[in-house]
Amino acid sequence: MAVRDAAKAIARLKAPLVRELAAEALVRPVDPFDDPPVPQRVLRGDAWTGVVTAVDPDGWRAVLVTAGGRRSASRSCTLIDPEGAVVCAFPADDAARRAAAAAAGLAAARITRPGPVRVALLGAGPLGLLCLEAVHAAVEVGGVRIHDPDAAALAAAADHGESRADAQSAVRDADLVIAATNARDPVLRADWVAEGASVIAAGADRPGRRELDYRLIAEASFVACDAPRIARALADDLRDCVAEGHLDWQEVTPLGAVLAGEADARVADDDLVVVKLIDAAPMVLALARRALGH
């Protein structure tokens, strides 16, 4: 199959199927083998390359490569069959965004309080709008406020919610805050977030990027991550909190355990719950196999 055809086949998958495949990938044991491949990262000046490998129980592998510089990055994925043969390689930006958005929607259904959910979206780019779409499908939304420092992006998202010129006013009193940015410095501070809020950080997924103030994570009653092992290498907002002594990696619960009902993210209405998304590779692997008929 041609490189572009693989990406197009994934793009044709319907949202409910993407959600189903993402859920299966997230609840699956993260390391089905004894010697898991660790994330590889290469930093050279402003240039960065990161490699994450996912392996499913059938022995299929997806190698997700992110490469970029100070302002932007792009992803590619290589799909490898159980015999070690390369099936295809394809641009994976859209697949990774769809996977992360599906994970955000699944998380929202588990971590928000009952009733209409007031949503704040920080980052009105393609990832943010996909996350918002996934949340609409997962919970009853009682209003949306959106902030993006890019005026053009904010204007383009006007049909999706109420535009706010600053992040603080966007998140005030929100039940659910979604950060979907490529920020180098935190875009969300602890003292902005309402009591009992849920926070999903979906955008900053490589070293040098931080969406959450470490104090926000430190104050959380519950912290979950789609891939805690990967987070130790790539999630600088979690790594900062651990380095400051306010969080231990043992306190970071796999998101899959929450989705499977094995862990309760919210015990009381006033709990602050944080979910960090860092590794789309297992979900991209599942999407690629289904899209290509493998």
When divided into structural domains, the chain yields a total of 2
Residues 148, 168: Cα–Cα separation, whole Å: 11
In a domain, 113, yes or no: yes
**Helical pair 93-111 and 15-27, crossing angle rounded to 10 deg:** 70
Distance of CA 130 to the CA centre of its chain: 11
CATH, residue 66: 3.30.1780.10
Confidence class of residue 141 from pLDDT cuts 50, 70 and 90?
Answer: very high
In a domain, 158, yes or no: yes
For residues 115 and 66, state if they share a domain: no
pLDDT-wise least confident of 30-44, 114-128, 210-224, 249-263: 30-44
Q: What is the mean pLDDT of residues 210-226?
A: 94
CATH, residue 194: 3.40.50.720
Q: What is the mean pLDDT of residues 62-84?
A: 87
Residues 88, 77: Cα–Cα separation, whole Å: 8
Whose structure tokens read 């572009």? 4
Residues 96, 146: Cα–Cα separation, whole Å: 22
In a domain, 233, yes or no: yes
Is 41 a residue whose pLDDT tops 80? no
Residue 17: its pLDDT value, please?
Answer: 98
For residues 61 and 183, state if they share a domain: no
Q: Classify strands 222-225 and 252-254 as parallel, antiparallel or unpaired.
A: parallel
- Residue 180 near residue 127, CB atoms below 8 Å: yes
For residues 233 and 128, state if they share a domain: yes
Q: 101-132: b or e for each residue (b if 16 or more CB lie within 10 Å)?
A: bbbbbbbbbbbbbeeebbbbbbbbbebbbbbb
Confidence class of residue 34 from pLDDT cuts 50, 70 and 90?
Answer: very low
Instruction: Identify the domain containing residue 20 by its residue range.
Output: 3-96+282-291
Of residues 190, 193, 153, the one with CA closest to residue 176: 193
Is 157 a residue whose pLDDT tops 50? yes
Q: How much is the pTM?
A: 0.93
Residue 221: its pLDDT value, please?
Answer: 96
Phi and psi, residue 55, nearest 5°: -130, 130
In a domain, 101, yes or no: no
pLDDT tens, position by position, 158-207: 999 999 999 999 999 999 999 999 888 899 999 999 999 999 999 988 77
Residue 42: its pLDDT value, please?
Answer: 65
In a domain, 216, yes or no: yes
pLDDT tens, position by position, 110-130: 999 999 999 999 999 999 999
